[in-house]
Amino acid sequence: MRVPKKGKSKEGKEMHYSVGALIERNGKYLLIDRNVAPFGFAGIAGHVDEGESPEEALIREVKEETGLNVENYELIFEEELDWNWCSRGIDVHYWYFYRCEVSGKIKREAKEAKSIDWYPKKEIKKLSLGKKLEAVWEYWFKKLKII
Ligand SMILES: [Zn+2]
């Protein structure tokens, strides 16, 4: 299934389609410290490009931002968020959110991330209390009862 580059939200606003990747290994979650707005610690995420399917975007974004290969994925939910903005000036995003298994070696993408590392729940909670988690990831970690 392909999605258009821009769609219309339930309320008729311009909307982007995006993918999020929850990557967990041995009880730790892979987070980057974002180098582009919105800032904060976040999982791997990005826009679905023109002509792409969400699954293709997922595999591409994970590779670009982490150097890792997606071996397995599962769509755990999809939802429209009308408070979630991006640096391209759009205020609504429709998210496809996946849980992924990955292989390979981490390679930081300097343009996207100040750092990339694995964080246990306890550390993610601390990031949340310190207001250092990016808003949409804070929302998802809570939604998934990880924090
Ligand atoms: Zn966007």
pLDDT tens digits, one per residue of 49-107: 988 999 999 999 999 999 999 999 999 999 999 999 999 999 999 999 999 999 999 99
Q: How far is the CA of 14 from the centre of ligand 1 (A)?
A: 10
- How many Cα neighbours within 13 Å face the side chain of 72? 2
Q: How far is the CA of 18 from the centre of ligand 1 (A)?
A: 7
Give CA angle at 79 (28, 126), nearest 5°: 30
Q: Which two tokens stand for residue 12?
A: 């008729």
State the amino acid at position 66 in one-letter form. T
39 domain-assigned: yes
Domain limits at 49?
Answer: 6-142
For residues 31 and 116, is the Cβ–Cβ distance under 8 A?
Answer: yes
Q: How far is the CA of 89 from the centre of ligand 1 (A)?
A: 7
Please say if the pLDDT value at position 31 is more than 80.
yes
Evaluated on CA atoms 96, 99, 103, 106, the torsion sign reads: positive
Look up the CATH number of the domain holding residue 105. Answer: 3.90.79.10
- What three-state secondary structure class fits 6? strand
Q: Which two tokens stand for residue 101?
A: 């298994």
Query: What pTM does this model have?
Result: 0.95
Per the structure, how many domains does the chain have? 1
25 domain-assigned: yes
Averaged confidence pLDDT in the chain: 96
Tell me, what's the pLDDT at 132? 98
φ and ψ at residue 128, rounded to 5 degrees: -65, -50
Q: How far is the CA of 26 from the centre of ligand 1 (A)?
A: 31
83 domain-assigned: yes
